[in-house]
Structure 1
Amino acid sequence: MDARTHLPDTPRAPGAGTGHCPSGVAVTSPLERRYRRWAGAYPPGPRRQELIDTLLECAPPGRARPAPREVVNLLRHGLRARLGRPGGRAVVVLATLVALIGGLAGAAVAARVGWQWVPALPGGAQADALKRTVFPGMTAYGGGDAPLIVDSSDGENIRFGFADYWVEHTAATRDLDVFTAAARDRLLAAGWRLHGDVTATDSEPDAITPTRSTAFLASHDGLVLAFRNTVWSNRAAWDNDGAASFTLTRAAPAWLWALTVAGGLLGALGGWLLVGWASRRTAPRSAMAFAAGTLAWPVVLLVPLVVLILAMWSIQPDRPWSETLFVTLFRLVGPAGYAGIAALPSLAIAALSGPRLSGRTTAATLAVVLAGAAGVLWSHRGPASPPGPAECRPSGVPAELPADQTRLAMTVHVFIRQDTTPDQRNIVQAAIARVWGTSAFNFYYDPTAPEYGDAYCAGGRLADGAGVSLPYFWQVDISSPGVFSGLEAEVAGLPGVLGVRRGPATVS
């Protein structure tokens, strides 16, 4: 490509002839500095200075800043010049794909780091005020903070962490349409914004458990509230028939969107410049470049497809589209996803490698990739549970763990005396199942089971023979930490129950 094709279009100075600029035009120092800044899009070398000199000569008298058209042309032609190989199109395609991958990686890292600074979900007086707004005069359970990301109910996906709030059904809440409309109106009066209208869903006429529910979505001050009122018919007398409930999740604040976009732009620019750096320093037809390119191109082309599949897999039904975006980015930050993304710049360099690519340069590139991977893995870590004792010999129900270890706990242990009857255990188990937000539970009575170490030794190991006389227990998985209060209220005081304890938080 002729170097002149990289010259940006510039307005012709008054009185200029065809293709020539008047000489000796006085220009201001700020204009030169600004031209030099935008000309930085070109690779270093005499070509850059020649371009600046030409622009200054062609500038009309009194101009203080480059014209927008000049800025666009400087960036467009400069970034293309960074790639070298003027007659090649493959390098442009490769640079575009690597820039896309780098942009996704940059956005993912920026979002993951930024979410650490998003305020916690409301608790205490703020959560109580929200309960009174949605469920006035009723005993409501739930609330509090939640982990940033949790597994979905089917265990096959992830979603934003949420806090459950609910009330057991009364005659008022079973009138789904009226109660839901009233809850919506109270939230609107409190300043919440409704997204869409109330929706109603009915099960199939021949369903074994006929179900009807009403729902709506609202947001306010960085929070998203998903209300749902569900009634299940033909349920056993000991089971619940649904609940009026809502979940509360965080919404991405404006500064987090800006940080994510900035991270994406920086990552894309880095990917483009990296390909250009390799391209300008290598032989275009070396045998090594051909062999490595055969490997690199399929990988680079495959990544956008993988990202698309992850995005489709991360779709959050009936949720704001932004949650799908950020959940997809969270998946990309995972160790396996980042390892693949971090390898692509190295593949791009290898695909264009030649005799001028030194061992020191390759080592430095790999060091940068490894340092970035270590940083991402560090930011991706969850709150580590403090190590339990190597071996413990408890004498009964364990004491409550410190609040800072259980604030985000998603596991609860319900302890029961060994001498309880099967009927008493069935009553307790039915009570556990009735609680809104208990996703799974298992009963343990064998002291050799590893779960005994989790329940009694905070993750340590139970000493041999120490569990023979210890109470049996249920290990209950809950959908959000605030479910604990409702579970404790439901089972405490039942025959044989000795205590209800939170497990340590082990999720991010």
Structure 2
Amino acid sequence: MRERLGRPESRTVVVWAALTAVICGLFSAALATWGAWHTARPLPDATETTALVAEVLPGYEINEVDPGAALFTFYSQPLHARDLKSLLFLDGGEYQQGATVATVRTAPRAVQQEIIALAQRRLRETGWRTFPPHVEPEVTCRADGGCTPTGGPSNISLVARRDDTALNIQSLANPSIDGTHLTVAVYRANPPAVLPAGIAGGLVGAIAGWMVFAWASRRTRRPHPAANAVPLLYAITMLFWWAPVLLTASSMLRHHRDEPHPVWHPLWEWLGQPTLSLCFVVGADCALFALALATAPRRDADPLSTAATEFAH
């Protein structure tokens, strides 16, 4: 394998090739799943959302319905080309799954547990798959960064899924600025095309990553003029591509363990995208520059001097 990769003397070249194939496969799988997500049905409109709230919370009236602008939004609006600068410079976390949100008229917060109990019962009766309520206690934080519960009221969220639709009922202990105590967010679950698209895209990307690495590795072995520059650029690429993945994946895993999720966060968020998309762009620029250097002609020995040496022997 080392011989095929053009580095028979190296003991780590196979590891680097594997890391390249894996990261390329992950990025291409994320891109494929992003495309497959757009086969999902549009977000529920105001009429469908009103009917869902009436089904789940009978007897409660809706104040307002805010239809989602798109399946995925940037600051609650569809992503546009003018948003790319903001997306790159540490604002990418605002690119999130869209939802249609209804605010519901409620009694005072003393009946919070009654509302959640009613919603759980109605969800089970109407065929929804429910998850345990998630309680966020009121906390107070100190200057050193530590936070402790105050013993005061808590925010409670209840999530459920039925077919390709998911919802999040959130009961707020303290009202928001407009006085809202209860909201119902309705959004779409991942469509069936996401999984096969991710697998196919991942395989294609991994194979392509391995082949490109192998070509560049064979091409740039000494005495290539970029024999030193290409490995340096490659190391920078791996740093900027792998660091966000390792940091974000562990954080996302803790997040999914702590809170119930009827719909898991999409694959690209597990890779730190687009939150840390600037890292990806820097790594991609270094990779393209390295490949461009790899196309330079090799500085092999002069064939005439080689022939003379062979004749002397």
TM-score for both structures, normalised by structure 2: 0.70
Matches of 1:117 and 1:246 in 2, distance apart?
24
Point out which structure has higher relative CO (alpha carbons under 8 A, 6+ apart).
Answer: 2
Choose which of 23, 33, 52 in structure 2 pairs with 1:130: 52
Q: Following TM superposition, by how much is the alpha carbon of 1:308 offset from its aligned partner in structure 2, in angstroms? A: 2.6
- Aligned residue in 1 for 2:125: 189
Q: Following TM superposition, by how much is the alpha carbon of 1:289 offset from its aligned partner in structure 2, in angstroms? A: 0.8
Identify if the C-alpha distance between structure 1 residues 351 and 204 changes in structure 2 by more than 3 Å, giving closer, same or farther: same
Identify if the C-alpha distance between structure 1 residues 98 and 156 changes in structure 2 by more than 3 Å, giving closer, same or farther: closer
- Identical aligned pairs, as a percentage? 27
The one-letter amino acid paired with 2:259 is: D
Q: What is the DSSP-based 3-state SS (H/G/I as helix, E as strand, rest coil) of the residue aligned with 1:157?
A: helix
The one-letter amino acid paired with 1:213 is: N
Matches of 2:102 and 2:34 in 1, distance apart?
27
Check whether the contact 1:110–1:263 (CA below 8 A) recurs between aligned residues: yes
- Aligned residue in 2 for 1:7: none
Check whether the contact 1:227–1:245 (CA below 8 A) recurs between aligned residues: yes
The one-letter amino acid paired with 1:230 is: L
Choose which of 304, 323, 342 in structure 1 pairs with 2:284: 342
Matches of 1:250 and 1:341 in 2, distance apart?
33
- Aligned residue in 2 for 1:371: none
Check whether the contact 1:284–1:352 (CA below 8 A) recurs between aligned residues: no
What is the CA deviation profile of residues 194-225 of structure 1, one whole-angstrom value per residue up to 9, with x for unaligned ones? 12x23444435999995333322211112221
The one-letter amino acid paired with 2:204 is: L
- Please report the RMSD computed on the Cα atoms of aligned residues, expressed in angstroms: 3.8
- Aligned residue in 2 for 1:292: 230
Identify if the C-alpha distance between structure 1 residues 333 and 176 changes in structure 2 by more than 3 Å, giving closer, same or farther: closer
The yes-or-no answer on 1:272 pairing with 2:210 is: yes
Q: What is the DSSP-based 3-state SS (H/G/I as helix, E as strand, rest coil) of the residue aligned with 1:216?
A: strand
- 5+ residue gaps, structure 2, are 77-90, 141-147, 300-313
- Please give the residue correspondences for 1:4-403 in structure 2 after superposition, counting only pairs within 5 Å: 82-140=4-62, 141-142=64-65, 144-147=67-70, 148-151=72-75, 157-158=93-94, 159-170=96-107, 174-195=110-131, 197-203=132-138, 210-232=152-174, 240=179, 242-311=180-249, 318=259, 320=261, 322-323=264-265, 325-328=267-270, 331-332=273-274, 336-343=278-285, 345-346=287-288, 349=291, 355-356=297-298
**Structure 1 stretch 83-92 or stretch 268-277: which is displaced more?**
83-92
What is the CA deviation profile of residues 75-97 of structure 1, one whole-angstrom value per residue up to 9, with x for unaligned ones? xx7xx775243443343233222
Q: What is the DSSP-based 3-state SS (H/G/I as helix, E as strand, rest coil) of the residue aligned with 1:322?
A: coil
- Please give the residue correspondences for 1:442-461 in structure 2 after superposition, counting only pairs within 5 Å: none
What is the CA deviation profile of residues 95-129 of structure 1, one whole-angstrom value per residue up to 9, with x for unaligned ones? 22221231232123212222222211112543232
The one-letter amino acid paired with 1:146 is: A
Check whether the contact 2:233–2:290 (CA below 8 A) recurs between aligned residues: no
Q: Following TM superposition, by how much is the alpha carbon of 1:228 offset from its aligned partner in structure 2, in angstroms? A: 1.7
The one-letter amino acid paired with 1:135 is: L
Check whether the contact 1:222–1:252 (CA below 8 A) recurs between aligned residues: yes
What is the CA deviation profile of residues 160-209 of structure 1, one whole-angstrom value per residue up to 9, with x for unaligned ones? 222212212226x74121221111111111111012x2344443599999
- Please give the residue correspondences for 1:464-475 in structure 2 after superposition, counting only pairs within 5 Å: none
Matches of 1:97 and 1:133 in 2, distance apart?
50
The one-letter amino acid paired with 1:175 is: V
Matches of 1:126 and 1:313 in 2, distance apart?
34
Check whether the contact 1:83–1:279 (CA below 8 A) recurs between aligned residues: yes
- Aligned residue in 2 for 1:72: none
Runs of 4+ residues over 6 Å off in structure 1: 205-209
- Aligned residue in 1 for 2:143: none
Q: Following TM superposition, by how much is the alpha carbon of 1:229 offset from its aligned partner in structure 2, in angstroms? A: 1.7
Q: What is the DSSP-based 3-state SS (H/G/I as helix, E as strand, rest coil) of the residue aligned with 1:331?
A: coil
Check whether the contact 1:168–1:244 (CA below 8 A) recurs between aligned residues: yes
Q: What is the DSSP-based 3-state SS (H/G/I as helix, E as strand, rest coil) of the residue aligned with 1:289?
A: coil
Matches of 1:336 and 1:156 in 2, distance apart?
9
Matches of 1:207 and 1:185 in 2, distance apart?
29
